[in-house]
Amino acid sequence: MKLNQKVAIVTGAASGMGKAIAELYAKEGANVIVADLNIDGAQTVANTINDNGGKAKAVQVNVAKLADIENMIDTAVNEYGTLDILVNNAGIMDGFEPAGDITDEKWELVFDINTKSVIRAIRKAVPIFLEKGKGVIVNTASTGGLNGAHAGVAYTASKHAVVGITKNTGFMYAQNGIRCNAIAPGATITNIEATMENLNEFGTSRTQVAQSVIPRPGQPEEIAKVALFLASDDSSFVNGTVVTADAGWTAAF
């Protein structure tokens, strides 16, 4: 098994890509903290993992709250003795608002969840990894973190920031045994649309230009396989980069 006896945290793990990553990691031998604001969903995922012979613990986490992030990582250490893999997957969409229409409140909410949570979790995990002399971070970015036509300004900027965090962290700690990479999924079948409300008519119409050339939507399990590669020793020479998984969507422009 590729992750035998490793300890992994996966945020946003009650559904979608996070759920698929948590389940695949457990199948490959990892002890998994299933972290999500939706504790009932997280518990269901953890129960499924445990029923199938794996090891998992559900933890309720609002990634917009520093105390919840720190408790999440402390729980992993207290429950399983250490931390080896941190997957920052939790995120929300905006409402496709362009710069002229975005409010401070929406901007701050998107950044709290999509970006600030990532740096807070990494900051808490780095001392553990430094002491061990190794550790892996996998961030869920987005093709919206590489391009400007896939969402509104807040989501786009928040995911561009995640790409920057990934590259800087990978470089800074490259000689300390810590690897940090990101996945940029294209259109993937999850329930992230549930986080969208009051869609901006102008912004939505503009993004349809890019959406019209999507080859096909991806499945969460396809993204999980990329996350497994990045967490495992198979990617030992891969650091500080972004793996695009979008069926060739962004190859068009």
pLDDT over 90 for what percent of the chain? 94
pLDDT over 70 for what percent of the chain? 98
User: Does the pLDDT value for residue 195 go beyond 80?
Assistant: no
Is residue 137 a contact partner of residue 179, using CB atoms and an 8 Å limit? Answer: yes
pLDDT of residue 79: 98
Mean per-residue pLDDT of the chain: 96
Summarize pLDDT for 19-69 with one digit per residue, the tens: 999 999 999 999 999 999 999 999 999 999 999 999 999 999 999 999 999
User: Does the pLDDT value for residue 137 go beyond 80?
Assistant: yes
pLDDT of residue 43: 98
pLDDT of residue 197: 78
Which stretches within the chain are classed as H helix? 16-27, 39-51, 66-80, 104-111, 117-132, 153-172, 201-211, 220-231
User: Does the pLDDT value for residue 253 go beyond 90?
Assistant: no
Average pLDDT for residues 173-189, to the nearest whole number? 97
Would you place residue 198 in the very low, low, confident or very high pLDDT band (cuts 50, 70, 90)? confident
pLDDT of residue 252: 84
Q: For the ranges 86-100, 154-168, 190-204, which has the lowest average pLDDT?
A: 190-204
Q: Which residues are catalytic?
A: 155
Q: Is the pTM of this model over 0.75?
A: yes
Q: How far apart are CA 8 and CA 203, in angstroms?
A: 37
Would you place residue 190 in the very low, low, confident or very high pLDDT band (cuts 50, 70, 90)? confident
Least Cα distance to 72 among 30, 36, 111, 22 occurs for 36
The DSSP code for 150 is S
Would you place residue 118 in the very low, low, confident or very high pLDDT band (cuts 50, 70, 90)? very high
Q: How far apart are CA 22 and CA 33, in angstroms?
A: 8
Domains and CATH numbers, the chain: 7-252 (3.40.50.720)
